Structure 1
Amino acid sequence: MRQLLAAVTAGLVALLPQPAFAWGERGHAVIDTAAIHAIPADGPVFLQKHVDYIAASASQPDGWRGNAEGFSKIVEDPNHGWFREQFTFLKTIPRSRYEFVLALYDQHLRIRASDPETAARTNVRWTGTLPYAAMEAYDRIVVCMRQVRRLAGEGRDPAFAERNCAFDVTRLGHYIGDAANPLHISVHSDGWRGENPDGFTTDRSVHGRFESRFVDLIALTPADVRARIGAPARQTGDMFDHVLRYVDASGDKVRQVYTLEKRSGFADANDRDVRELVHERIAAGASMLRDMLVRAWVESARPPAQITPAPLDFANPAFNPATGSAPAGPR
């Protein structure tokens, strides 16, 4: 394990191709490593001490999706996708995971008699919850970074709080990394579905061939994307909106993935266009993760916002009795 950590961080890792849910171990490790090394001096640089741990743990959330771990699988599976074609009936994406789930169920009830096939996939498993998982992980990072600041300000050792942050970064990094792959943002995640005038592959292996086999074939390293990451975006405005725009930008490239697959099935390491797409997507994931970590560090310097009435208070004007809470507000 120690050898693997050193290789990933140095950008010299040479892993064998293997089935994986997303980007494989190599792709996720590269995204996390590149993001953390790109944190500026005024950001949460303490994470760089934990980069080996974060990179080695980058694929851990996929392990929570095993069929044998039913409780974990039920909640975790949707966190890795966002099949936006499935909920075009929503004019606005709810700012609550539970309001989103209830909106899907309401639509399921509306169409189950007239369109039972579509209704069978109008549920959280076949739409995904990735933006919510990303924001939930982001919020946890803000909290743990706030604790790091407090302990350091009190002259106490923040080591344990820093490790808590490192673990939460593995979660955020995984979801942001998944979203960088266009095949996680479409119903066409595992082969083209429905009308197919362009003759795109319907082979379910397309997902793994793109994000794992090709990535391993070109021996992707953090050095390959470092120059593409650039300076931090210093994001302002609502973070949830940033995440939604990020996943949409990735989803817009689904047809590009399938068009490139028709050349050689992602088996040619010399295909410059596929290599370019992989580098661009991996860099996009690393940039977004780095920017979210920097933004979280900035937010952690401020005291928590005082929400009055509280989200669970029936008097809150946004309180939804169906979910027992007001949705998250803008930040």
Structure 2
Amino acid sequence: MQIYDYFEKNKNFVNISFILLHQYTAMRFLLIITGFLIPNYLNAWGFYAHKEINRLAIFALPSELMAFYKPHLAYLQNQAVLPDKRRYIVKEEACRHYIDIDIYESYTKDIPEGWEQAKEVFTEDTLLKHGIVPWQIYKMTFQLKNAFQEKDIEKILKVSAELGHYIADSNVPLHTTSNYNGQKTNQHGIHGLWESRIPELFSEKYDFFVGRALYINDLRAEIWNNVWKAHSAVDSVLFYEKQASLEIPEDQKYAFEERGAATVKVYSRRYSSYYDNLLNGMVERQMRNSILMVASVWYTCWKNAGMPDLKNEQNIPELPIRKDKEEIADVSSDCNH
């Protein structure tokens, strides 16, 4: 009777509890079943690759500059992914990560490298719609140079970390085309396959010794050269994925993996390896190019700033990594240059 009386007196509470438990169970089941329907890799290069590119760039610097950056390695790694996190909160952030070369070329074959000239040709709204990554990178080189001149340690590190992110993005072929996820060619998911799945599975066998950073005489021209180089690989990226799809049976193309609390459908190791081999080292080359480019831009900005002596700053305590919301509040919410 006591149990009956308890349920009778608290039946509303009990009913609500059962409803909530049922909803939780249903939601968890839904995540497990449909996890593979949601893109598994939503970030350029993936968080892992972005962190590795910034980390390895430090070791390509000349000794004097490496001595300054190396104590802040953890900060530069962690902040490397902040621009991707910001994309889901600041709507204007996305345009800084890509450029739809094919769309720009539909207007004119000549894309001005200068921001003001580009605005005259395309209008600013068009630029923000179809991506501004090379202009964003060039703008930030001035920010880094100024930070070096001012010996503003926190600004140097923050700009360096985020600059590394955008440079890495500009080396991804699928960040230079409007067909960024194969949606126009029935190749949905290719974005994450190329820039996240393959590096996560196989980067341990890649050769990341890229030599020493180089001084770049013309930063803007070099930034654009890298973008055009990445864009020239778009056809191969798409073609070889089509070939891999034809040659690997559908039931061997995907696998299931545990990701946190969910079971997700991912490209299988066999399929990813086959595609990587067809690309003949392209992912490795673009990662290497990203590492060397990041290091070379950092070095060039430091040299353009007059090579300030930072040796007295190399042993300062590691800067605290602030919460995302605090970082986001520091960033202008527009894409204006």
- Length-normalised TM-score, structure 1: 0.67
CA distance in 2, matches of 1:217, 1:275: 16
Q: Which of 214, 228, 232 in structure 2 is aligned with 1:252?
A: 232
Q: Letter of the aligned partner of 1:104 in structure 2?
A: F
Contact 1:191 1:204 in 2 (8 A): yes
CA distance 1:92–1:180, shift in 2 (3 Å): closer
Higher relative contact order (CA 8 A, sep 6+): 2
SS at match of 1:43: helix
Contact 1:177 1:282 in 2 (8 A): yes
Q: Letter of the aligned partner of 1:278 in structure 2?
A: V
CA distance in 2, matches of 1:77, 1:51: 26
CA distance in 2, matches of 1:290, 1:30: 13
Does 2:262 align with 1:278? no
Matched with 1:204 is 188
Does 2:142 align with 1:139? yes
Contact 1:78 1:125 in 2 (8 A): yes
Larger of the two Rg values belongs to structure: 2
- Following TM superposition, by how much is the alpha carbon of 1:282 offset from its aligned partner in structure 2, in angstroms? 0.4
SS at match of 2:240: helix
CA distance in 1, matches of 2:91, 2:286: 27
CA distance in 2, matches of 1:260, 1:162: 45
CA distance in 2, matches of 1:56, 1:259: 34
Q: Which of 145, 150, 160 in structure 2 is aligned with 1:169?
A: 160
SS at match of 1:270: helix
Does 2:100 align with 1:83? yes
CA distance in 1, matches of 2:207, 2:95: 28
SS at match of 1:189: coil
Does 2:85 align with 1:105? no
SS at match of 1:202: coil
Does 2:302 align with 1:297? yes
1:32-111 paired onto structure 2 within 5 Å = 32-43=54-65, 45-66=67-88, 69=89, 72-74=90-92, 76-88=93-105, 89=108, 91-96=110-115, 99-105=117-123
- Following TM superposition, by how much is the alpha carbon of 1:18 offset from its aligned partner in structure 2, in angstroms? 4.1
Q: Letter of the aligned partner of 2:149 in structure 1?
A: R
Q: Letter of the aligned partner of 1:241 in structure 2?
A: A
Q: Percent identity?
A: 21
CA distance in 2, matches of 1:258, 1:168: 33
- Following TM superposition, by how much is the alpha carbon of 1:244 offset from its aligned partner in structure 2, in angstroms? 0.6
1:206-225 paired onto structure 2 within 5 Å = 206-218=190-202, 220-221=203-204, 224-225=206-207
- Following TM superposition, by how much is the alpha carbon of 1:85 offset from its aligned partner in structure 2, in angstroms? 1.5
- Following TM superposition, by how much is the alpha carbon of 1:202 offset from its aligned partner in structure 2, in angstroms? 2.1
- Length-normalised TM-score, structure 2: 0.66
Unaligned runs of 5+ in 2: 1-38, 246-252, 254-266, 309-336
CA distance 1:44–1:90, shift in 2 (3 Å): farther
Q: Letter of the aligned partner of 1:186 in structure 2?
A: T
Matched with 1:112 is none
CA distance in 2, matches of 1:37, 1:44: 7
What is the RMSD computed on CA atoms of the aligned residues?
2.6
CA distance in 1, matches of 2:213, 2:82: 27
Q: Letter of the aligned partner of 1:230 in structure 2?
A: G
Q: Letter of the aligned partner of 1:178 in structure 2?
A: D
